[in-house]
Structure 1
């Protein structure tokens, strides 16, 4: 049996270097796409605003004590269903924004979301507040 002589490696293992290069590439792609905000342009000024038809967003608010408000008007769950059904008949793509108090019971928010699902309202947004550090 022959003993191998101590000789210098003639290969360099580049796998860790490639791993690092891929991580840096991914980070670069993520940071550049996050930094792109759009092109700034100076919009022309007009004497009157054109009347563009915007869909009216319905706001459903659930207070801390469980009371439900639709566009700042207190409603019961049955009234909310009736009003949303009417608005949905007027606009099939009715956008709804749900604002739930942070201290309200989770069940109250789930009941409202279940009602929206029952009425087949798909344009839905949940409002949160940005955490200030």
Structure 2
């Protein structure tokens, strides 16, 4: 056999990347089609600027303290947990456009159940501004 026919039967060592490019283009198209379907819109209500500035004095914040014995204090006066929702509703209804801030100071030793009841009462009373404070005692 001549040498030229033997070299013609040798395997080709070049890599064929055409199928790889085809697969990558198909995957790219699939991702481009499915991504808009998977994205979800989040509705954000941004505050609108009033036509002229209105100066409103904020009401005094409500200091709600829960001590180590799980006793609840409304502005330093002892209050039962069952009465909190009505008291919060009364505060919100004084000026619904400008509700007071509820500042909750809970002791590390207080029971979680009492704090959960306070937060549920605030939610049911439609308190919009709730903050947690940690006073050094």
TM-score (norm 1): 0.54
- In the alignment, structure 1 residue 54 sits paired with structure 2 residue 54: no
What is residue 70 of structure 1 aligned with on the other side?
74
- In the alignment, the residues of structure 2 paired with residue 129 and residue 63 of structure 1 have an alpha-carbon distance, to the nearest angstrom, of 11
Unaligned stretches of 5+ residues in structure 1: 1-51
- Structure 2 unaligned blocks of 5 or more: 1-55
Which 4+ residue blocks in structure 1 deviate beyond 3 angstroms?
A: none
Count of residue correspondences: 79
Larger radius of gyration: 2
For the aligned residue pairs, the C-alpha RMSD in angstroms reads 1.8
2:100 is aligned to: 94
What is the TM-score when the length of structure 2 is the normalising length?
0.52
**1:74 CA displacement:** 0.4
> For residues 94 and 54 of structure 1, what CA distance do their matches in structure 2 show?
7
Aligned partner of residue 103 in structure 1, secondary structure: coil
